[in-house]
Amino acid sequence: MSIVQTLLATLVTLGILVTIHEWGHFWVARRCGVKVLRFSVGFGKPLWLRKGRDGTEYSVAMIPLGGYVRMLDEREGDVPEALRSQAFNNKPVLQRMAIVAAGPIVNLVFAVLAYWFLFLWGSTVVIPVVGGVQTDSLAARAGITPGVELMAVDGHEVQSWDEVNLRLAARVGETGSILLRAGEPDRGVARDYSVQLSDWRVDLEKESPIGALGLRPYQPEIPAVIGALTDGGAAQSAGLQVGDKVLAVNGAAVEDWRALVETVRSSPGQLLRMTVLRSGTEQPLDVTPDTRVDDNGQQYGFIGAGVQSVQWPDSMLREVSHGPVEALWIGVQKTGQMIGLTLDAIGKMIAGAISVKNLSGPITIAKVAGASAASGLESFVSFLAYLSISLGVLNLLPIPMLDGGHLLYQFIELVRGRPVSEKVQMMGLRIGMALLFSLMALAILNDIARL
């Protein structure tokens, strides 16, 4: 995907999420009788500005990393006597709390509606059939064998590997047992497997919880056929073409794509004599893999070739769709699950059970936004829902500068009967700014490291 397409996908993603967040504040403020001075998507100098008949300025600004709703407030300037009743600071505390909470809540409602659309639309998923079990892994010790279908994780029914992964992700960093139900549902054969955990650590940057458990999902046989080439890569420079099937390397037969990848990765800078099948004729080609270095400083070979897509057997695919009411309820459950997973991840990150390397910043968001947009509507809407949940949950955290920080102050005011002092609020603001800027810097450093 080109840089321009990635940039456009990022702008659309942030534009949608920021707009609905700020619209939540705006809509409730208007319902509470607060005069809104400006509704802005983005910060900085306005690129587009229009004043509505309601007196509110509507703006699209240069910096797309957020937005704001500016309301009439005596703490920010003089307010004419005739408009004092419309000032935010003069509204009852419960109304102010509703206005502040509305932005994050609308983000969560948007996620419910996005998931509702996806479940109503329907999708084709890969059935979670185990293709292999790593020797002496957690799954192997539990007695799980290749060929069984996973049907439930900790009592929750699963229909796809995505659902399995999410359920397992919730157990990362824990001690205890994961209860997996697996078997052959077509034959009515199923049993429970207890996977024992002891402070289960997973490097989520390098592997999924599924792989960390020792499970390898079933995949159809993938022949060693070239499906794509990187311009100027070693494969293209050596004369490999899309559609070539690699039969042998250095005289040893190549069974499938996985075997070819392993051979290339283990041969950085070494000449590989390949035999390829092209248009029914065998041809010799010499390829020398480029040398690259992984995160651990280990060298590996890379030739710049992609695999040709293969057709999944119908027996391994499942059509999933629901009626309008059922899809809405499942959307609510899915949103609740993702909220719980987000809060759980934050807690485990603070406790050290999950590495802070998993924090992501704007660069990763841009990459994922571009990739999901390129993958189709379903993938993009799913990413929007996930990011909207993250935005809603993070904004509700009781950190000054965030909506949750304002709610904390207002809740204290509700209990005490008087506002928190300006001195305390300013101290909290400084702490909140330091914390948020530190987290943003760490997330950006993680983004750069991933590049």
* Residues annotated as part of the active site: 22
Q: How many helices (H) and strands (E) does the chain have?
A: 12, 18
Nearest to 366 by CA among 341, 383, 342, 388: 383
Backbone Cα Rg of the chain: 27
Coil/strand/helix, residue 304: coil
Joined tokens for residue 91: 């509204």
C-alpha span between 439 and 67 (Å, rounded):
19
Location of structure tokens 């000054």: 400
Q: Please check whether residue 450 is in contact with residue 427, taking contact to mean a CB–CB distance below 8 angstroms.
A: no
Q: With 0-12 CB in 10 A as exposed, 13-18 as middle and 19+ as buried, what is 302?
A: middle
For the chain, report the end-to-end CA distance as a whole number of angstroms.
15
Joined tokens for residue 311: 């057709």
Beta strand 149-153 pairing with 176-184: antiparallel
Q: How many CA atoms within 13 Å lie on the side-chain side of 120?
A: 15
- 102 torsion bin: left (phi>0), alpha (psi -120 to 50), beta (else): alpha
Beta strand 215-217 pairing with 130-133: antiparallel
Q: Which residues are CB-neighbours of 338 under 8 A, at least 6 positions away?
A: 111, 385, 386, 389
φ and ψ at 399, to 5 degrees?
Answer: -115, 125
